[in-house]
Amino acid sequence: TIQAVIFDLDGVITDTAEHHYLAWKAIADELDIHFTRAFNENLKGVSRMDSLKLLLSQADTPVQFTDKEMEELADRKNKLYQSLIESITPSDILPGVAEFTAELQRRGIKTAIASASKNAFTVMNSLGLTNAFDIIVDAAKIKNTKPDPEVFSTAAELLGVEPSHCVGVEDAAAGVQAIKAAGMFAVAIGAKEAFPQADLVLSSTSELDYAKIEGLFIANS
Ligand code: BG6
Ligand code: MG
């Protein structure tokens, strides 16, 4: 049986994946690096510094930055990101999310947020969702980021639920890998072909449907 559902934040609860992209795009433009939306898919779910490294790997001629310069670039991206998310309100919760979490609550199923973002608490606060989930994992305390399972395993532990009774919801390839590595049922949001490892792929959050997920979960276990 499903005892907990653990959600990614950026791109699942709200469309901050777009804000991350726009902030990285501004940095890439500044550095004259070609940075496409398609390549940005690789950055989803990935930590700030690893995202910067991926972005720099797109330079035509390899550029060498010192650690200090790397910190400054990452910091600048974060400041841009933070200015973009200043205007977030509860109306930015993605379609279907409130109904789905309400259904989980009615059924006594626990909920958590497992995000790689150090801005997760700010975003959750702006969405008015801080108290709507049982646990929000603190990304600052996670050593190994997605695709490592640590953030999902930590969420399950804090909820006191075995991974085999957990469902993870993600919009990133690295995130789906993390859910599967944690031994959980994976629901991906996005294009089917992007998530070969997922147990269920939904084209959008408005498709989140408890009965459908439970049916597949039971069939798979
Ligand atoms: C993830 C996003 O949730 O958090 C990534 O998908 C982002 O795009 C990562 O890089 C880290 O976020 P932050 O806010 O700590 O830079
Ligand atoms: Mg995401």
- What are the binding residues? 8-10, 24, 43-48, 51, 77, 115-119, 146, 170-171
First to last CA, the chain: 9
Residues of the chain with pLDDT under 50: none
Look at ligand 1, atom 2, and give the residue with the nearest C-alpha: 45
How much is the pLDDT for 221?
A: 86
**What are the contacts of 54-57 at 24+ separation with CB within 8 A?**
55/24, 55/27, 55/28, 56/31
DSSP state of 94: P
How much is the pLDDT for 147?
A: 96
Q: For this complex, say whether ipTM is above 0.95.
A: yes
How much is the pLDDT for 182?
A: 98
Atom of ligand 1 nearest to the CA of 74: 16
117 in contact with ligand 1, CB cutoff 6 A = yes
Closest CA to 101 of 213, 210, 221: 210
* Cis amide bond preceding 149, omega within 30: no
Amino acid at 189: I
CA 40 to chain CA centroid, nearest Å: 14
How much is the pLDDT for 194?
A: 94
How much is the pLDDT for 63?
A: 84
**Residues 6 or more apart from 36 whose CB is under 8 A from it?**
none
